[in-house]
């Protein structure tokens, strides 16, 4: 009985493959029929394996840069929307590379110097575990790059705006004061509108 069922199934498949092969041009019919029948016979006589469970892992979700808590607190304190950060900087997912993309709107060199100092402090704070601080030399170099460098007055401009900084004694680590952070918030809002 089992043999009879298997023969009937084989005959049905042969007829099906003949019908399929006849749809092609004469020179190809024989080869198509042989391939279909061979494939069927291999599958019909192969030992049946239990289907293996295939685990599909979803593709990795690209990480998104997370603004450090200190910067988020600053933004909330001064009512600056978080999306303004993306208008100022291009940041990789780990926050290791940060590239400024902002354009200063002021043409007054003294104001531009202070804005660059404040924005450099923000850039440093965006790097994980950093403070709102900058190096005077780094700001000097940025001013030179942007042709905003006023050599005779460079240090005097910082001294005139000393209330923006906790101290100017350590020029490698000049940290923003609360007044400096308030000014930074205004600068952010002004140049990202």
By CB atoms closer than 10 A (0-12, 13-18, 19+), residue 45 is: exposed
Q: Does domain 69-191 have CATH number 1.10.10?
A: yes
pLDDT at 29 (0 to 100): 80
**Residue 53, helix vs strand vs coil:** coil
Q: Residue 57 pLDDT more than 70?
A: no
What ranges do the domains of the chain cover?
2-45, 69-191
Average pLDDT of 81-86?
91
Q: Tens digit of pLDDT for each residue in 108-126?
A: 999 999 999 999 999 999 8
* 13-39 pLDDT per residue, tens: 888 888 888 888 887 788 888 888 888
CA pair distance 33, 30, nearest whole angstrom: 5
pTM given for the model: 0.66
Q: How confident is the model at residue 1 (pLDDT cuts 50, 70, 90)?
A: low
* Pair of tokens at residue 79: 């009512």
Number of neighbouring beta carbons within 10 Å of residue 55: 5
């Amino acid at each position: 009985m089992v043999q009879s069922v298997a023969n009937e199934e084989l005959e049905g498949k042969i007829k099906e493959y003949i019908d399929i092969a006849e749809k092609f041009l004469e020179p190809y019919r024989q080869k198509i029929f042989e391939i279909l029948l061979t494939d069927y016979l291999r599958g019909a006589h192969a030992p049946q394996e239990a289907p293996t469970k295939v685990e599909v892992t979803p593709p990795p979700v690209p990480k998104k840069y997370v603004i450090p808590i200190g910067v988020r607190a600053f933004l909330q304190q001064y009512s600056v929307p978080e999306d303004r950060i993306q208008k100022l900087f291009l940041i990789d997912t780990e926050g290791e590379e940060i590239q400024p993309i902002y354009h200063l709107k002021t043409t007054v060199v003294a104001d531009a110097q202070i804005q660059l100092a404040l924005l450099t402090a923000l850039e440093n704070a965006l790097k994980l575990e950093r403070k709102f601080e900058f190096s005077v030399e780094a700001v000097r170099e940025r001013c030179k790059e942007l042709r905003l460098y006023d050599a005779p007055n460079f240090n005097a401009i910082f001294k005139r705006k000393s209330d923006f900084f906790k101290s100017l004694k350590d020029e490698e680590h000049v940290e923003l004061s609360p007044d400096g952070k308030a000014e930074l918030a205004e600068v952010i809002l002004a140049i990202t509108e």
